[in-house]
Amino acid sequence: MAVVWDEAAVRKALPPGSEPAKGMTGGINIYSVQRGNTIAPYSAAYLYVDIEGYDSSDGIKGRWMLAGVYGPQPKTSAALKTYYGFPVRQGESRLEATADGKRATGSLNGQDLVTAEIKPVPNGCAPGAGVLNYVTMARKTEQIVVNRIPFVGDICKADLVSAKVTAPSGDAFSAYPIAKLVGASEFRNGASAFSAPVPAGK
């Protein structure tokens, strides 16, 4: 789901020297992975903001994760937090059918944090591939690093029915109000990979 974030909340979250993309654009990703090496299977939900200076070779803006949950196994969130610097906790997501489409929800300890509903567009899928640059701060060195994540799969058009952060006050997700809903898409039959983080600028 593509959204526009509240500017004040985003600027508080970014490290010194980082600049959000024009328009405070970003998104909400809620998904699951059934097969994979080491940390899979897992499900996840997270919020991110687009940032300047880290575009991938195909023009996709770099991303800074604002808050996330990965799990339900503890090894998944632990690996992403320890080795990649992502601000994640042990949680999970679920996908449910609705009358017109699908509802995706991210949760932590039984508490729903973020929910989105989409309506798939008939015959709206096309193959796609690219690289996502997720920028984080290494936990040990406090150095800005880039996690390059290549992906390939079917990118499918969808109508965004609703998206809302439902986390209770004080939770990390609740710190990021959505200023505007922009649109949605669905990623199907996909594959992606985490690569070793590299220092920013290399």
Domain ranges of the chain: 2-199
Separation between Cα atoms, residue 4 and residue 106, nearest integer Å: 19
Q: In the prediction, which pLDDT does 123 show?
A: 96
pTM across the whole model: 0.96
Separation between Cα atoms, residue 78 and residue 99, nearest integer Å: 36
Question: From first to last of its 202 residues, what are the pLDDT tens digits of the chain?
Answer: 999 999 999 999 999 889 999 999 999 999 999 998 889 999 999 999 999 999 999 899 999 999 999 999 999 999 999 999 999 999 999 999 999 999 999 999 999 999 999 999 999 999 999 999 999 998 888 899 999 999 999 999 999 999 999 999 999 999 999 999 999 999 999 999 999 999 987 5
Whole-angstrom CA distances from 12 to 9, 19, 66, 116, 120 are 5, 11, 10, 25, 35
Name the class of domain 2-199.
mainly beta
Q: In the prediction, which pLDDT does 200 show?
A: 87
